[in-house]
């Protein structure tokens, strides 16, 4: 499905889905991102707080803004709504002021589910450029991005997941790594890198990867998913 553009939805209601994963680790930042859109979008910005795996009843043609690559992929499969990532939305809204980090040099770990979405890759890099951040690309980036390993648990034993996380982190040329996914954020930290979630950079905040015990993290994320499925 062709990517939707912000200019096509001026004045229309937007529905922001904060995702189960982001809600489980940093709901405050998810709400601050939504507040940013509420300030600068010329129409209503509403909360869609249901897990993307559920069949939400949204108005036909509704615009859904997502933080999560998995949510984006599911919403893009629906023909009754239009989906755009938070990264694309902010990049296409020049009226939103962004902080500057001229001393920061980073590599980017592109999320797996964005692998076939070059517009998202472009938006991420455009935002980093606007924030005066220098990017040093890894050989496996954009459509060649490699899974960080986090999503492979519990299908793989935890020690194998750890090896994948460390191997992927080692492929990043820079110590500082930009991510758009909380699981990728934790994987980079486990691999010894300093992760920067793009949402935190946009909001002028420091990224704290938080809980790095993978079993505990997955349990908390699963509990949030169950809660949001109940509505």
pLDDT digits (tens, 9 = 90+) for 23-53: 999 999 999 999 999 999 999 999 999 999 8
CATH of region 105-214, choose from 3.40.390, 3.30.70, 3.40.50, 1.10.101: 3.40.50
Same-fold call for 6-91 versus 105-214: yes
Using a pLDDT cut of 90, give the percent of the chain over it: 79
pLDDT tens digits for range 99-155 = 999 999 999 999 988 988 999 999 999 999 999 999 999 999 999 999 998 887 777
Domain ranges of the chain: 6-91, 105-214
Architecture of the domain defined by 6-91: 3-Layer(aba) Sandwich (3.40)
pLDDT at 181: 95
**Helix 214-230 crosses helix 158-170 at what angle (to 10 degrees)?**
100
- Per-residue confidence band for 7, with pLDDT thresholds at 50, 70 and 90: confident
Provide the pLDDT for residue 231.
62
What pLDDT sits at residue 1?
47
Residue 54 pLDDT grade (very low, low, confident, very high; cuts 50, 70, 90)? confident
SS (H, E, C) the chain: CCCCCHHHHCCCCEEEECCHHHHHHHHHHHHHHHHHHHHHCCCCEEECCCCCCCCCCCCCCEEEEECCHHHHHHHHCCCCEEEEEHHHHHHCCCCCCCCCCCCCEEEECCCHHHCCCHHHHHHHHHHHHHCCCEECCCCCCHHHCCCCCHHHCCCCCHHHHHHHHHHHHHCCCCCEEEECCHHHHHHHHHCCCEEEEHHHHHHCCCCCCCCCCHHHHHHHHHHHHHHHHHC
């Amino acid at each position: 499905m062709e990517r939707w553009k912000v200019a096509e939805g001026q004045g229309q209601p937007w529905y922001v889905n904060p995702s189960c994963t982001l809600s489980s680790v940093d709901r405050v930042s998810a709400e601050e991102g939504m507040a940013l859109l509420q300030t600068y979008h010329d129409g209503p910005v509403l909360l869609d707080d249901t897990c993307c795996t559920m069949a939400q009843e949204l108005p036909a043609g509704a615009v859904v803004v997502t933080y999560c690559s998995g949510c984006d992929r599911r919403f893009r499969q629906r023909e009754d709504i239009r989906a755009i990532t938070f990264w694309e939305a902010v990049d296409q809204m020049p009226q939103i002021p962004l902080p500057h980090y001229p001393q920061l040099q980073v590599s980017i770990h592109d999320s797996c589910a964005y692998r076939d979405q070059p517009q998202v890759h472009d938006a991420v890099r455009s935002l980093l450029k606007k924030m005066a951040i220098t990017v040093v690309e890894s050989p496996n980036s954009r459509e060649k991005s490699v899974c960080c390993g986090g999503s492979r648990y519990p299908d793989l034993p935890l020690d194998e997941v750890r090896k994948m996380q460390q191997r992927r982190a080692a492929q990043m040329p820079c110590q500082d790594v930009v991510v758009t996914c909380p699981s990728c954020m934790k994987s980079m930290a486990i691999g010894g890198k300093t992760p920067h979630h793009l949402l935190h950079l946009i909001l002028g905040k420091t990224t704290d990867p938080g809980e790095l015990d993978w079993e505990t993290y997955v349990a908390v994320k699963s509990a949030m998913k169950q809660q949001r499925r109940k509505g």
